[in-house]
Amino acid sequence: AADMGDDLERVLLSEEQLHARLDEIAAQIDADYAGQQLLLVGVLKGAVMVMADLARRLRGNVSMDWMAVSSYGSGTKSSGVVRILKDLDTDLTGRHVLIVEDIIDSGLTLSWLLSNLRSRGPASVEIATMLRKPEAAKVEVPVRYVGFDIPTEFVVGYGLDYAERYRNLPFVGTLAPHVYQG
Ligand code: PRP
Ligand code: MN
Ligand code: MG
């Protein structure tokens, strides 16, 4: 992390750890959806990395679509206010849907998204998330596939941003407090 200067405190999950866990999750998804058409719904922008790395590991009949919602703004706290910035192009009627997320923090985004997608007549809706902060949960969300449970720290990288930065890091790291405390 030398090129990140002092912004990062430490690496929480290495690229190798993330990829090894995705190998396991992809095998599980392929087994669970064997013989079925699966629609992956990536939640922009944070899910771009996990979507790309998960989807390329799947061997089944898979389509991808994207929604853009936002709840954080540019700060470090969830607001609970969810806005649709871009809706799906796909009709969900009768489809097996797997929502792909980078992180579940308060759970407010996914709780809202789950009921929104369920109202569209899908055959099933499940959730896959790379990261989850169990101690930060304000609402319980039923998650089928979890990469890693992590402590309630501000993390960036592998799709996760702070003020739109650090999404490109191939690993997950903790942000040094001076970065968000100004
Ligand atoms: C982040 C993250 C999740 C959500 C989790 O997205 O990518 O989508 O917050 O928070 P919650 O569980 O407390 O609702 P954000 O709204 O920051 O948009 P982004 O993906 O474009 O960064
Ligand atoms: Mn997001
Ligand atoms: Mg964000």
Assess whether 105 carries a catalytic annotation: yes
Beta carbons within 10 angstroms of residue 164's beta carbon: 8
Q: Ligand 1, from 74, 105, 146: best to mutate by most atoms within 8 Å of Cβ?
A: 105
Across the chain, what does the average pLDDT equal? 93
Residues 6+ apart with CB under 8 A from 71: 78, 79, 80, 81, 82, 83, 108, 109
CATH top class, domain 15-152 = alpha beta
Ligand 1 neighbour 114 (Cβ under 6 A): no
Which residue has 């799709």 as its token pair?
159
Residue 1: what pLDDT? 45
ipTM value, please give it: 0.98
Q: What spacing in Å lies between the alpha carbon of 62 and ligand 2's midpoint?
A: 22
pLDDT one-digit tens code per residue, 46-56: 999 999 999 99
